[in-house]
């Protein structure tokens, strides 16, 4: 219903925004305004302001603003008419009466509410009778407790042609009303009508006020089709504008800041019973604009939970296409996938509510699901396939109507596509090089596995200890790097800080000086990364034996220039990793409306990364080929570095160790 502007102004005038907001936000006077912590984001410094003179609020942390009606819609998930009715009653403002035509519509709807309610009570009663034994046993097998059955008003439709129809006729309900309520079907061939729902567990579908308006029926017989049968659309029921259980989930969703969306009614009931009250279910249809808007009223980032099988993934991919045009700044979706063979009901009963919460917390972002879908179906083994893939990504992003969000997605897509295509080219180049040589003596330094990069850190820091003059040459760059590794008690960053202190305070001639001047607490890390000369079990271990075990080519006679080149190559790879992290952080923390300079900075940063990757990668291959020549000549002393830093000697292996450990 449309409300005259003067009525809305009257409500605003009688209810100051600070009064309505103050029920959910602790406000303090700040000049002419009121200030408090945001109800939309967790924060420690107040950034939420309410101004009674202007009649609006503004939240700087989320960018949300509006009047008293908007606040109720944002914080309680009410529709605009619901917010108006609530505040009008509170303010003592009489809303305009409906026209005669509208009153007739209201009366017709009231009759439908009554007949649906009568059918709901009939189904509930049948579940408690002996005829409903199979339905009750089915619900008990699904773990639906008696209290939950009562809360959701679950029932049973007898496997009889006209059981419900006869009951309603006996209560004085007209035949036409039963048909308009979608409870009976009149065949077109002239045969007598029959009940729409027969031999099914009955689940009432309720509106935003908790009134039953339709039903979902779950088949009990294995061969009964369809498995789920919904009421047809009626004057009360528009399935494209509803989600199941929304009226129960509304407040919990706002309190939790998220909503869980599942596919089946019984999935939603089971998850609700487990304690996750912010759960809703779709009504067996593709997402509509109305459902998307309703879910965003529940939470700005609902999490859609799909079954872990192929059908579940396909359902997620179809949902993406529906959602993309509706995306807007501050409103998106995430996706959680159940383990293969499990739906949310199976999962929550087997693993518990906490496990489902963790799964929801780790849900994939909307962009991640777009990327997953397109990379799964793309043919990336050819230049043409890569071009088609790139075009598909651009087409999807171009459908986003919100210009600010579209710009962010365009930047993210540009970075990720170019990064993927670079890696594919790198992989092909590496495959060609491995065909030409017996095997690289240097590690695969561009592996995405974090443990491989940590292994490179160990080699690099071992070389810093063994060749202190190289650290002196690159001191500023080493000091600026962010190392990820650690020993049980200390981080590699702390170790490097003390290593540089020693180099700055003393004239370090060799690795032995670090064992004299490094702070005592770093000795275990020093030994782990490098390895002090010692004898153990009759075996002699040279200085740096842990380093030599991790980087075996150093056990061969190699020229000093080769060592310097390896050190420089490792330094640049780790430095490049920091640039990649800077780019990722820049994309993740992009402001809602980035200016041209911000976007240009990100583009230039990625270009630098790609150019340096090419240069560093070429140098890596050259060093690998050179190391292959050294491996073929000269003696080798094989030593092994235990992961705990213990020293273990052994005979030289039949095949040289060719990778970082």
The reply to whether 344 falls in a domain is yes
Q: Is the pLDDT of residue 280 over 90?
A: yes
Kindly state whether residues 420 and 459 are assigned to the same domain. no
Kindly state whether residues 278 and 339 are assigned to the same domain. yes
**pLDDT class for 167, splitting at 50, 70, 90?**
very high
**pLDDT class for 464, splitting at 50, 70, 90?**
very high
The reply to whether 598 falls in a domain is no
Q: Which element (helix H / strand E) includes 647?
A: strand 647-649
Q: Is the pLDDT of residue 433 over 80?
A: no
**pLDDT class for 435, splitting at 50, 70, 90?**
low
Q: Which two tokens stand for residue 495?
A: 């170790």
**pLDDT class for 502, splitting at 50, 70, 90?**
very high
* pLDDT value of residue 488: 80
CA angle 466, 469, 470 (to 5 degrees): 80
Kindly state whether residues 152 and 301 are assigned to the same domain. no
The reply to whether 347 falls in a domain is yes
Q: Is the pLDDT of residue 570 over 90?
A: yes
CA angle 310, 320, 281 (to 5 degrees): 75
Residue given tokens 């302001």 in the structure block: 49
Whole-number percent of the chain with pLDDT over 70: 87
Question: For helices 403-436 and 560-588, what crossing angle results, to 10°?
Answer: 160
The reply to whether 601 falls in a domain is no
Which among 639, 423, 424, 661 has a CA at the least distance from the CA of 534? 639
Q: Are 155 and 118 within 8 A, CB to CB?
A: no
- Please state which of the ranges 3-12, 82-91, 320-329, 507-516 shows the lowest mean pLDDT: 3-12
Most confident of 35-49, 114-128, 222-236, 520-534: 114-128
The reply to whether 602 falls in a domain is no
CATH code at position 339? 3.40.1360.10
Kindly state whether residues 147 and 249 are assigned to the same domain. no
**Number of compact structural domains in the chain:** 5
Mean pLDDT of 280-288: 83
Q: Which two tokens stand for residue 51?
A: 């101004």
Task: Quote the CA–CA distance of 290 and 326 in Å, as a whole number.
Answer: 10
* pLDDT value of residue 1: 58
Q: Is the pLDDT of residue 538 over 80?
A: no
* pLDDT value of residue 470: 93
Question: Across the chain, what does the average pLDDT equal?
Answer: 84
CA angle 276, 278, 284 (to 5 degrees): 105
Q: Report pTM.
A: 0.64
Per DSSP, the chain holds a count of helices (H) and strands (E) of 27, 20
* pLDDT value of residue 640: 40
Q: In terms of DSSP H, where are the helices of 474-522?
A: 475-480, 492-505, 511-517
Backbone angles phi, psi at 653, to 5 degrees: -75, 160
Task: Report which of residues 170 and 538 the model is more confident about.
Answer: 170
Kindly state whether residues 246 and 367 are assigned to the same domain. yes
Kindly state whether residues 104 and 230 are assigned to the same domain. yes
Q: Which two tokens stand for residue 199?
A: 């031999």
The reply to whether 181 falls in a domain is yes
Which among 68, 71, 41, 64 has a CA at the least distance from the CA of 54? 68
The reply to whether 596 falls in a domain is no
Domain boundary among 328, 349, 372: 372
The residue range of the domain holding 18 is 5-91
**pLDDT class for 21, splitting at 50, 70, 90?**
very high
Which among 621, 611, 530 has a CA at the least distance from the CA of 569? 621
Mean pLDDT of 26-51: 88
* pLDDT value of residue 650: 37
Q: Which two tokens stand for residue 389?
A: 């893939």
* pLDDT value of residue 638: 46
Kindly state whether residues 104 and 232 are assigned to the same domain. yes
| Integer CA distances (angstroms), 522 to 248, 501, 526, in order | 57, 13, 6
Domain boundary among 91, 119, 138: 91
Q: Is the pLDDT of residue 446 over 60?
A: no
Kindly state whether residues 250 and 224 are assigned to the same domain. no
Task: Quote the CA–CA distance of 541 and 545 in Å, as a whole number.
Answer: 6
Domain boundary among 91, 119, 154: 91
Which among 204, 289, 287 has a CA at the least distance from the CA of 248? 204
* pLDDT value of residue 75: 85
Kindly state whether residues 571 and 466 are assigned to the same domain. yes
Task: Quote the CA–CA distance of 499 and 522 in Å, as a whole number.
Answer: 9
Task: Quote the CA–CA distance of 138 and 215 in Å, as a whole number.
Answer: 18
The reply to whether 621 falls in a domain is no
Query: Which of the 8 DSSP states describes residue 93?
Result: P
Q: Are 274 and 320 within 8 A, CB to CB?
A: no
CATH code at position 78? 3.90.580.10
* pLDDT value of residue 265: 94
10 Å Cβ neighbour count for 138?
17
Kindly state whether residues 175 and 229 are assigned to the same domain. yes
Backbone angles phi, psi at 31, to 5 degrees: 70, -125
**pLDDT class for 209, splitting at 50, 70, 90?**
confident
Q: Are 228 and 264 within 8 A, CB to CB?
A: yes
CATH code at position 115? 3.90.980.10
Kindly state whether residues 85 and 116 are assigned to the same domain. no
Task: Report which of residues 73 and 270 the model is more confident about.
Answer: 270
Backbone angles phi, psi at 655, to 5 degrees: -115, 130
Kindly state whether residues 185 and 197 are assigned to the same domain. yes
Query: Which of the 8 DSSP states describes residue 304?
Result: E
10 Å Cβ neighbour count for 94?
9
* pLDDT value of residue 359: 94
- Please state which of the ranges 220-224, 238-242, 474-478, 594-598 shows the lowest mean pLDDT: 594-598
Q: Which two tokens stand for residue 587?
A: 């994309």
* pLDDT value of residue 98: 63
Cα-to-chain-centroid distance, residue 655: 45
Backbone angles phi, psi at 488, to 5 degrees: -50, -35
Task: Quote the CA–CA distance of 165 and 146 in Å, as a whole number.
Answer: 27
Question: For helices 353-361 and 344-351, what crossing angle results, to 10°?
Answer: 120
Would you mind telling me the total number of residues written for the chain in this entry?
Answer: 661
């Amino acid at each position: 219903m449309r409300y005259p502007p003067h009525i809305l102004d009257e409500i605003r005038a009688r209810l100051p925004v600070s009064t309505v907001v103050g029920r959910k936000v602790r406000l303090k006077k700040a000049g002419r305004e009121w200030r408090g912590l945001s109800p939309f984001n967790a924060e420690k410094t107040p950034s939420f302001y309410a101004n009674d003179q202007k009649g609006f609020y503004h939240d700087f942390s989320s960018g949300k603003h509006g009047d008293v009606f908007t606040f109720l819609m944002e914080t309680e998930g009410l529709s605009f008419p619901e917010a108006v009715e609530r505040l009008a009653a509170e303010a003592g403002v009489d809303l305009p009466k409906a026209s005669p035509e509208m009153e007739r519509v209201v009366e017709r709807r009231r009759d439908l509410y009554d007949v649906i309610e009568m059918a709901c009570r009939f189904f509930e009663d049948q579940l408690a009778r002996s005829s409903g034994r199979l339905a009750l046993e089915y619900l008990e097998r699904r773990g639906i407790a008696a209290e939950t059955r009562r809360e959701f008003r679950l029932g049973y439709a007898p496997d009889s042609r006209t059981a419900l129809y006869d009951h309603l006729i006996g209560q004085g309900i007209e035949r036409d009303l039963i048909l308009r309520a979608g409870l009976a079907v009149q065949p077109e061939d002239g045969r007598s009508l029959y009940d729409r729902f027969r031999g099914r567990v009955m689940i009432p579908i309720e509106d935003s006020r908790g009134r039953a308006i339709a039903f979902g029926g779950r088949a009990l017989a294995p061969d009964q089709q369809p498995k789920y049968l919904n009421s047809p659309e009626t004057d009360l029921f528009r399935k494209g504008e509803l989600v199941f259980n929304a009226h129960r989930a509304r407040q919990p969703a706002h309190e939790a800041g998220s909503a869980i969306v599942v596919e089946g009614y019984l999935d939603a009931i089971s998850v609700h019973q487990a304690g996750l009250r912010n759960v809703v279910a779709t009504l067996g249809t593709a997402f509509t604009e109305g459902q998307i808007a309703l879910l965003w009223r529940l939470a700005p980032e609902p999490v859609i939970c799909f079954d872990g099988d192929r059908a579940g993934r396909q359902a997620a991919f179809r949902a993406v296409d529906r959602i993309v045009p509706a995306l807007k700044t501050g409103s998106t979706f995430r996706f959680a996938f159940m383990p293969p063979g499990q739906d949310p009901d199976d999962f929550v009963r087997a693993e518990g509510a906490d496990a489902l919460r963790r799964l929801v917390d780790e849900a994939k972002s909307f962009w991640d699901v777009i990327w997953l879908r397109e990379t799964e179906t793309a043919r990336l083994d050819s230049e043409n396939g890569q071009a088609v893939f790139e075009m598909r990504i651009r087409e999807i992003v171009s459908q986003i109507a919100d210009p600010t969000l579209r710009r962010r997605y365009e930047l993210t897509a540009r970075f990720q596509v170019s990064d993927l295509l670079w890696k594919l080219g790198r992989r092909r180049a590496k495959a060609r090089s491995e065909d030409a040589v017996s095997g690289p003596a240097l590690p695969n330094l561009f592996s995405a596995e974090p443990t491989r990069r940590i292994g490179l850190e160990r080699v690099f820091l071992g070389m810093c200890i063994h060749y202190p003059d190289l650290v002196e040459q690159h001191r500023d760059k080493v000091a600026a790097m962010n190392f990820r590794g650690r020993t049980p008690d200390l981080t590699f960053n702390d170790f490097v800080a003390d290593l540089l202190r020693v180099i700055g305070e003393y004239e370090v001639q060799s690795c032995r000086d670090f064992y004299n001047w490094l702070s005592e607490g770093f000795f275990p890390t020093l030994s782990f990364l490098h390895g002090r000369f010692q004898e153990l079990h009759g075996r002699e271990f040279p200085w740096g034996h842990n380093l030599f075990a991790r980087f075996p080519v150093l056990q061969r006679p190699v020229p000093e220039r080769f060592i310097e080149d390896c050190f420089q190559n490792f330094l640049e790879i780790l430095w490049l990793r920091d640039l990649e992290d800077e780019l990722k952080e820049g994309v993740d923390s992009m402001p809602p409306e980035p200016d041209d300079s911000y976007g240009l900075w990100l583009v230039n940063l990625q270009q630098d990364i790609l150019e340096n990757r090419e240069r560093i990668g070429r140098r890596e291959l050259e060093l690998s080929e050179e190391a292959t020549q050294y491996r073929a000549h000269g003696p080798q002393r094989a030593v092994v570095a235990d992961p705990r830093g213990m020293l273990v000697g052994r005979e030289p292996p039949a095949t040289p160790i060719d990778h970082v450990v």
